[in-house]
């Protein structure tokens, strides 16, 4: 190797070492950004969302985003990457159409590049929930009708990468439950990885209304299972970001479900219509910036004051015996625990949260995540420097 290449390699290595990723989704629902002192560590902001179907038009005339890239840029430290997230929960038809044929994929990719050029973004986050099925419409369109998407998804992301070129950023938000990882196999993962700068593994909502037993929505055991599923099939750990929810989830438990004996792993009421998949109103979520729904205030107050940390599975929860409600959320303590338990043991390259403004009540979760991220970055750099000295 020439001297030039070697020093280039060191530059790249140092650059990576200094820049562990700290990614925040900024959403149209909660477009709140605190003072710069609280966000200066953030390395990437992903604006959520532009719908996927917008990019299937022949010549889209506008990019329906809740803000502008310039407006967002001015609220963060110089050098923070501002990306646009495409998709989100629901609306998978736009992605299905985009992926269906070679010419559709080309048109979609060219439009993504046109959007990036026109908005001045630094790249995109592809948030197809989910290729291969198990999306919002999973009861209406069976997964077998989407099995072709498993092979088409890597082709779509490859086409977008080719339109963006090597310098613009591209990431994907990917499912945290194995049952939803239909398109993420030992065969497809290396192809997808080739196109991406990093992976946002959605290690939250790991209990949702499709479950019938209580568990932690973002617990350590459940999160490790998600991370390992990707890493074992070929995603480099340093390209993985661990996801943190800045919101609380609640679920109605079955009064005869024996939750009294063990609130983790006990029976819930049915939470969605088994034939249509429609939400039955027995589970929900709200973020720290939102008002607590009035019918839940009593139970919520108890949860906040009497919640427990399950140190066996690594999740904070409360089960309300009067109202039969199971609550699951992250506290500063449970956020901090994930650094030794997940970030260090797996050597991950970054963290992200859904989403920044969702923590706008007092920014407690953001502050904790920042402190832990800084500590992680420091130890990581020390370890790498040490490794270099030994060479």
Ligand X SMILES: *[C@@H]1O[C@H](CO)[C@@H](O)[C@H](O)[C@H]1NC(C)=O
Q: Closest approach of Cβ 59 to ligand X, in Å?
A: 29
145 part of the interface to ligand X, by CB under 6 A: yes
Q: Closest approach of Cβ 320 to ligand X, in Å?
A: 21
CB closer to ligand X, 137 vs 323 = 137
Q: Considering only residues 296-325, where is the footprint of ligand X by CB under 6 A?
A: none
Distance CA 146, CA 31 (A): 34
CB closer to ligand X, 68 vs 212 = 212
Distance CA 96, CA 133 (A): 10
- Helix (H) or strand (E) holding 82, with range, is strand 81-89
Per-position DSSP letters for 255-282, written without gaps between them: TTS-TTT-SSSPBBPP-B-TTT--B-SS
Q: Closest approach of Cβ 361 to ligand X, in Å?
A: 34
CB closer to ligand X, 73 vs 215 = 215
Q: Closest approach of Cβ 276 to ligand X, in Å?
A: 12
Q: Closest approach of Cβ 141 to ligand X, in Å?
A: 4
Question: 129: closest CA among 175, 161, 197?
Answer: 175
CB closer to ligand X, 70 vs 273 = 273
CB closer to ligand X, 94 vs 123 = 94
Beta-carbon neighbour count of residue 297 at 10 Å? 11
Q: Closest approach of Cβ 262 to ligand X, in Å?
A: 16
Q: Which of 17, 141, 221, 269 binds ligand X (CB under 6 A)?
A: 141
Range 2-10 contact pairs with CB under 8 angstroms and sequence separation of 24 or more:
none
212 part of the interface to ligand X, by CB under 6 A: yes
CB closer to ligand X, 145 vs 379 = 145
Q: Closest approach of Cβ 95 to ligand X, in Å?
A: 15
Tell me the site size for ligand X, rule CB under 6 A.
3
Q: Closest approach of Cβ 121 to ligand X, in Å?
A: 34
147 part of the interface to ligand X, by CB under 6 A: no
Kindly give, in sequence order, each residue whose CB lies less than 8 Å from that of residue 166, ignoring residues fewer than 6 positions away: none
Task: For residue 233, count CB atoms less than 10 angstroms from its CB and return exposed for 0-12, middle for 13-18, buried for 19 or more.
Answer: middle
Q: Considering only residues 184-203, where is the footprint of ligand X by CB under 6 A?
A: none
Question: 335: closest CA among 229, 199, 236, 243?
Answer: 243
Q: Closest approach of Cβ 279 to ligand X, in Å?
A: 16
Beta bridge partners of 245: 354
CB contact at 8 A, 293 and 322: no
Distance CA 212, CA 227 (A): 23
CB closer to ligand X, 141 vs 292 = 141
Beta-carbon neighbour count of residue 143 at 10 Å? 15
Q: Considering only residues 231-270, where is the footprint of ligand X by CB under 6 A?
A: none
CB closer to ligand X, 215 vs 316 = 215
CB closer to ligand X, 95 vs 354 = 95
Question: 198: closest CA among 349, 17, 64?
Answer: 349
Q: ∠ at Cα 94 (89, 97), nearest 5°? A: 140
Query: For 107, phi and psi rounded to 5 degrees?
Result: -65, -45
User: Would you call 171 helix, strand, or coil by DSSP?
Assistant: strand
The site for ligand X (CB under 6 A) is made up of 141, 145, 212
């Amino acid at each position: 190797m020439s001297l030039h290449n070697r020093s280039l390699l060191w530059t790249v290595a140092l650059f990576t070492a200094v820049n562990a990723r700290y990614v925040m989704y900024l959403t149209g629902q909660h477009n709140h950004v605190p003072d710069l002192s609280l966000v200066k560590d953030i390395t990437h902001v992903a604006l959520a969302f532009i719908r996927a179907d917008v990019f299937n038009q022949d010549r889209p005339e506008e990019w329906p985003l809740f803000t502008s890239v310039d407006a967002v840029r001015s609220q963060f430290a110089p050098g923070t990457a501002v990306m646009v997230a495409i998709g989100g929960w629901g609306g998978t038809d736009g992605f299905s159409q985009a992926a269906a044929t070679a010419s559709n994929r080309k048109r979609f990719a060219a439009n993504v590049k046109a959007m990036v050029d026109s908005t001045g973004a630094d790249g995109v986050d592809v948030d197809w929930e989910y290729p291969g099925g198990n999306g919002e419409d999973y009861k209406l369109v069976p997964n077998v009708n989407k099995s072709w998407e498993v092979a088409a998804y890597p082709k779509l992301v490859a086409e977008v990468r080719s339109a963006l070129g090597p310098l613009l950023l591209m990431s994907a938000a990917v499912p945290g439950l194995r049952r939803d990882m239909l398109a993420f196999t030992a065969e497809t993962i290396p192809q997808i990885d080739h196109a991406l700068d990093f992976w946002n593994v959605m290690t939250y909502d790991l209990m949702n209304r499709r479950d019938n037993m209580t568990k932690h929505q973002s617990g350590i055991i459940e999160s490790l299972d998600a991370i390992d599923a990707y890493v074992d099939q070929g995603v480099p750990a340093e390209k993985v970001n661990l996801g943190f929810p800045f919101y609380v989830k609640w679920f109605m438990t079955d009064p005869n479900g024996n939750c009294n004996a063990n609130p983790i792993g006990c029976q819930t009421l049915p939470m969605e219509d088994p034939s249509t998949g429609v939400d039955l109103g027995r589970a929900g979520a709200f973020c720290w910036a939102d008002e607590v729904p009035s019918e839940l205030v009593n139970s919520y107050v108890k949860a906040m004051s009497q919640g427990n940390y399950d140190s066996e599975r690594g999740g904070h929860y409360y089960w309300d015996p009067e109202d039969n409600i199971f609550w699951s959320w992250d506290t500063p303590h449970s956020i901090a625990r994930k650094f030794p338990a997940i970030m260090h043991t797996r050597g991950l390259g970054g963290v992200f949260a859904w989403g920044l403004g969702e923590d706008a009540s007092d920014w407690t979760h953001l502050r904790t995540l920042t402190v832990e991220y800084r500590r992680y970055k420091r130890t990581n750099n020390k370890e790498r420097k040490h490794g270099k000295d030994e060479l």
